[in-house]
Amino acid sequence: APLHQIARAPRSSAITMEEIASLPLVGLTAWQALSPHLRPGQSNVLIVGGSGGTGHVAIQVAKALGAKTVVAVCSTRNVEFVKECGATHVIDYSLEEDVIVALQNHVNKDDDGLCFDIILDCVTSGDPNDARYQYPQRIRNAHNPSIVVPDHLYQRLGGPWKDWISAGLAPPDLFSHSW
């Protein structure tokens, strides 16, 4: 790669090699989820799980791509972190009785008529344990038109936990093909 495309961590950096090695995966995931759809200066982005690996990078990618607003959902201990990453507003799910009501309240008090056109859900996977949050159904619910625009994009990351485990445990099948 050309030298101007290579990032180097300063020698005194507190970031570990493991952390550096993880950036391509979460960075590309965030980029691929947001870049084709985000309209600079117009898009209002909601990131559920804003303090996680992909979520905190997605906040920064959304800001770098010119999102009008980036609202992140996270817990109390991560509120300052996601603000430092560039979140315009933070919904603290551990303080809220209902995240959806908190989102509606935030949207309703915004003078510009903020509705989300891109939702990146880094929490809800295909796992039945995640179904208890019901974020996809509740955010996209027709009774909540104040949260999303009609032609919004809802991106969900992940799949069933069994797929994650089998992907990590299954040895590669290098010799089954006849060459």
Task: Please give the Cα distance from 16 to 21 (Å, whole number).
Answer: 9
Is residue 74 within 8 A of residue 92, CB to CB? The reply is yes
Could you read off the pLDDT of 95-151 as tens digits, one per residue? 877 888 888 877 776 656 678 999 999 988 777 777 777 777 777 775 566 788 878
**Residue 159: predicted pLDDT:** 61
Residue 80 has pLDDT above 80, yes or no: yes
Task: Please give the Cα distance from 57 to 12 (Å, whole number).
Answer: 22
Q: How many helices (H) and strands (E) does the chain have?
A: 6, 5
At 177, is the pLDDT very low, low, confident or very high (cuts 50, 70, 90)? very low
Tell me how long the chain is. 179
Query: CA distances (Å), 134 to each of 116, 123, 125, 127, 147, in order?
Result: 17, 10, 11, 12, 15
CB neighbour list of residue 174: distance below 8 Å, 6 or more residues apart:
none
Could you read off the pLDDT of 13-51 as tens digits, one per residue? 677 878 778 888 899 999 999 999 999 999 999 999 999
Whole-structure pTM over 0.85, yes or no?
no
Could you read off the pLDDT of 145-175 as tens digits, one per residue? 678 887 888 888 866 656 656 655 655 554 5
Question: 157 has which bridge partners?
Answer: none
